[in-house]
Structure 1
Amino acid sequence: MSQTPTADQLRNRLVDGILTERGMPSDVERAMRTVPRDAFLPGIELEKAYTDQAVTIKDNPGEPLPLSCASVPSVVAMMLDQLAARPGDNVLEVGAGTGYNAALLAELVGGGNVTTVDIDSDVALHARTTLNTAGYEAVTVIERNGLLGVHENAPYDRIIATVGVWDIPATWWDQLVDGGRLVLPLRWRGQTRSVALTRRGDELVSDGMELCGFVPVIGQNGEKTAALDAADTIRVHYDQDQRVDTDALADTLRADKPARAFLSAQRIGGEESFDGVWLRATADDDRVCRLEVTPEAVKQNLIRRPAAPGRSPALVEDDSLAYLTVTREGIDAERPFRLGAAAYGPRGEELARNLIAHIDAWGAARLAVPQMTVTLSTAGTAPGHVISKPESRISLTY
């Protein structure tokens, strides 16, 4: 008769799995083997506490995403790797969640200081309670709008956000030392990437970014969502600086004309990621949006199936759109799928060919990661293609 595994055994098994899958620095590994995740998830069965998945701690009634959750442990490890916190560092975490990440940060900074902030009183109380129970009383927990930071404990050597951020607040710049690092799940053009940025005077410059998904921060409303059919089964997500005529798009789809299909020269394997197409397109194209198609719309053939129905890149202009598709072809056993575009509307074909150009640019260097440079919006006009937001300006260079 097999024995039920202990919390220590389950925790080490989880960390072993993450090491096998993606690796992590030795200090992050030590912290993750030390901090008991189950202590921050009271009421959750032990096995679930040590699986590589998110756990909701507070629902958000009427909204598709929870108000707060414990992040996926492998994503936690990845972001701590990006942050590169050092012993003695002063660290600010925006989004207290369960308190687990703050405990990991406390292990990483040793004699340094960790401040974690959350806008929700229940979440802040949960974090304070679990941190005390687990022996991390030295972590400071503040109930406040995280977009304001915590000026009284600044300046910080490291700032990490564990909520999706659409714009980088100027307050964070003010509270980050020159040479300090900021890691955040940054949202632009419908996608989210965990971006690691270093402050260099009046710029934040990236040295890495990873695909991720996070609950959006409360208080930033720059992302818009519009239904393109009466049943709300087809949606377009776009940024406030993009001029998207959602009524015209809905009329185009209602016309019930079959999509025109176009194929690129790029093939992929069954497990090969193609999210880099989206990233590549945003570097110089302001028409990139996110298309969301529910399973009901796919089942009813209301629209040609996108590459990833829940989140596919699309180019949108006036009453026309083109979006990424994947078609199975039996020509190449190693890469049996071919990327392409589906087009709707009078300018659909032009948009599809533009999207295929982005696909081909990605195909020429599939693993390339751009460098992101961020400046404050008050710093004046930056050269090259810029994504403008109320408090920051973003540019991507390959």
Structure 2
Amino acid sequence: MGQTPTADDLRNRLVDEILQDVRLTADVERVMRTVHREAFLPGIDLPEAYADQAVSIKDNPLGGPLPLSCASVPSVVGMMLSQLDVRQGDDILEIGAGTGYNAALLAELTGDNGHVTSIDIDSDVALHARTMLDRAGYQQVHVMERDGLLGAPENAPYDRMLAAVGLWDVPAAWWEQLGEGGRLVLPLRWRGQTRSVALTRHGDSLVSEGMELCGFVPIIGQDGEKTTTLNTDDTIRVIHDEDQAVDAGTLGNSLSNTTGIEVMSEQRIGGEESFDGVWLRATATDDRVCRLQVTPDAMTQELVLRPALPVRSPVLIDGDSLAYLIVRREGVDPQRPHRLGAAAYGPHAEKLAQDFIAHIEAWGAARTAVPRLTITPAKSDMTVGPGHVISKPESRLTLTY
């Protein structure tokens, strides 16, 4: 009978597992092997504390499907900290205190000459983080109850800013708090998908240094993303930005009164190969991209042709018609047995399906390419050159491949 693994064993085993799929900097690997995650999760047993999964610490008081606060998935934590590229002596602002674990990692990264400020809008969450940090020996971290959208100007300017909550827009207040040449890493949502984007400030521009797929609890106070239900049972929904017109009535009629068509592309994928880049590629040219969400009940009743991922698939919406991503297994190529395509409904189904196929083929020509994202303040008159522009109330996004 083997010995029960210790916390150190489990922590090192977790980091070893993360390194198989995520590229961590040497410093991030070191601090993830150093900081005790279980110290920030009282009442959670060791195996759960060192599983690569999120742990909720406070449920949503409004009864929503997502918790108000949680300990993020460790592999995502490591990925975002590697994007942040903290240096010794940096002044850091963390938006979303969570359990305090992330702030402890940041404190280790910035060292004795740096400073970490961690803020959260919820008093219970801020108190939890403060208590756990004190117990773990990180009294130097400054924890405050603050609205994350306003930041913490009293300790600015910051060399690094990290958002541990999902943002739909870049708050205007943050521009005054990030120093020139500073780096901001945030989970940013546009056109229904979320990417952890690393941005460096150059004057009045934030320019991306890379982006990775992720998902986060949304920040309180931003409501530019809308949900529209397409049927009376609320089993088929579209999540879209406020500038996108989605008519539930006409789209619902198209789904219930027309037969869906399938059009397949030439692009094939292996069983473990990601195809999320199709969505990202489409957002860089097409303002019709949204997110389709189909519940298991809708699948059981066969209300629609099965989307690639029922809970989150890209969809093009144009008036009374829609087309979304599908994956079909074909045995022609054993290395890449799955083929990507589009299912479409409505009077213009064929045209919309072909438009979607064009996005798939564009992705297929350069599968690992990511766009350059440049963000400027909405009030700024500066232009950033060619690219596809998505305007939000407080910022302007420009995507260029």
TM range (shorter): over 0.9
Structure 2 CA distance, aligned partners of 1:171 and 1:49? 35
**Aligned residue for 2:78?**
77
**Aligned residue for 2:294?**
293
Structure 2 CA distance, aligned partners of 1:228 and 1:158? 42
Structure 2 CA distance, aligned partners of 1:90 and 1:335? 47
User: Could you report, residue by residue, the CA deviation over 1:252-294 in whole angstroms, capped at 9, with x for unpaired residues?
Assistant: 2222x32111011111111110000000000010000000011
**Aligned residue for 1:260?**
261
**Aligned residue for 1:190?**
192
Q: What amino acid does structure 2 have at the position aligned with 1:217? A: I
**Following superposition of structure 1 onto structure 2, how do residues 5-154 of structure 1 map, counting pairs within 5 Å?**
5-61=5-61, 62-110=63-111, 111-154=113-156
> CA 1:341/1:381 → structure 2, altered by over 3 Å: closer, same or farther?
farther
Structure 2 CA distance, aligned partners of 1:77 and 1:151? 27
Structure 1 CA distance, aligned partners of 2:82 and 2:295? 34
**Aligned residue for 2:328?**
327
Structure 2 CA distance, aligned partners of 1:326 and 1:381? 41
Structure 2 CA distance, aligned partners of 1:240 and 1:325? 26
Give aligned pairs, total: 397
CA contact (8 A) 2:228 2:246 kept: no
SS at match of 1:215: coil
Residue 270 of structure 1 pairs with residue 281 of structure 2: no
Residue 338 of structure 1 pairs with residue 339 of structure 2: yes
**Aligned residue for 1:388?**
391
SS at match of 2:388: coil
Higher mean displacement: 341-350 or 285-294:
341-350
Query: Of 221, 228, 232, which residue of structure 1 is paired with 2:234?
Result: 232
Give ranges in structure 1 of 5+ residues lacking alignment.
Answer: none
Higher mean displacement: 374-383 or 205-214:
374-383
Structure 1 CA distance, aligned partners of 2:130 and 2:315? 42
**Aligned residue for 1:244?**
246
Q: What amino acid does structure 1 have at the position aligned with 2:114? A: G
User: Could you report, residue by residue, the CA deviation over 1:179-221 in whole angstroms, capped at 9, with x for unpaired residues?
Assistant: 0000000000000000000000110000100000000000000
Residue 317 of structure 1 pairs with residue 328 of structure 2: no
Structure 1 CA distance, aligned partners of 2:26 and 2:272? 28
Structure 2 CA distance, aligned partners of 1:119 and 1:13? 34
Higher mean displacement: 147-156 or 328-337:
328-337
Shift of 1:21: 2.5
Shift of 1:22: 2.1
Q: CA RMSD in A?
A: 0.9
User: Could you report, residue by residue, the CA deviation over 1:60-82 in whole angstroms, capped at 9, with x for unpaired residues?
Assistant: 14201111110010100000000
Structure 1 CA distance, aligned partners of 2:382 and 2:316? 25
User: Could you report, residue by residue, the CA deviation over 1:168-188 in whole angstroms, capped at 9, with x for unpaired residues?
Assistant: 011111100010000000000
Structure 1 CA distance, aligned partners of 2:206 and 2:389? 14
Structure 2 CA distance, aligned partners of 1:29 and 1:343? 45
Residue 302 of structure 1 pairs with residue 307 of structure 2: no
Q: What amino acid does structure 2 have at the position aligned with 1:165? A: L
Shift of 1:23: 3.1
Shift of 1:138: 0.4
User: Could you report, residue by residue, the CA deviation over 1:326-369 in whole angstroms, capped at 9, with x for unpaired residues?
Assistant: 11111111111111101111122111111100000000000001
SS at match of 1:302: coil
**Aligned residue for 2:224?**
222
Q: What amino acid does structure 2 have at the position aligned with 1:131? A: L
Shift of 1:30: 1.1
**TM-score of the superposed pair, with normalisation by structure 1:** 0.98
Shift of 1:380: 2.4
**TM-score of the superposed pair, with normalisation by structure 2:** 0.98
**Aligned residue for 1:165?**
167
User: Could you report, residue by residue, the CA deviation over 1:148-176 in whole angstroms, capped at 9, with x for unpaired residues?
Assistant: 00000000000000000000011111100
SS at match of 2:310: coil
Structure 2 CA distance, aligned partners of 1:169 and 1:284? 24
Structure 2 CA distance, aligned partners of 1:40 and 1:380? 45
Q: What amino acid does structure 1 have at the position aligned with 2:378? A: S
**Aligned residue for 1:3?**
3
Q: What amino acid does structure 2 have at the position aligned with 1:315? A: L
Structure 2 CA distance, aligned partners of 1:381 and 1:36? 46
Q: What amino acid does structure 2 have at the position aligned with 1:13? A: R
Shift of 1:131: 0.3
Give ranges in structure 2 of 5+ residues lacking alignment.
Answer: none
Shift of 1:381: 6.6
Q: What amino acid does structure 1 have at the position aligned with 2:398? A: S
Q: What amino acid does structure 2 have at the position aligned with 1:316? A: I
Shift of 1:385: 2.1
Q: What amino acid does structure 2 have at the position aligned with 1:293? A: V
CA contact (8 A) 2:388 2:400 kept: no
Q: What amino acid does structure 1 have at the position aligned with 2:180? A: D
Higher mean displacement: 366-375 or 379-388:
379-388
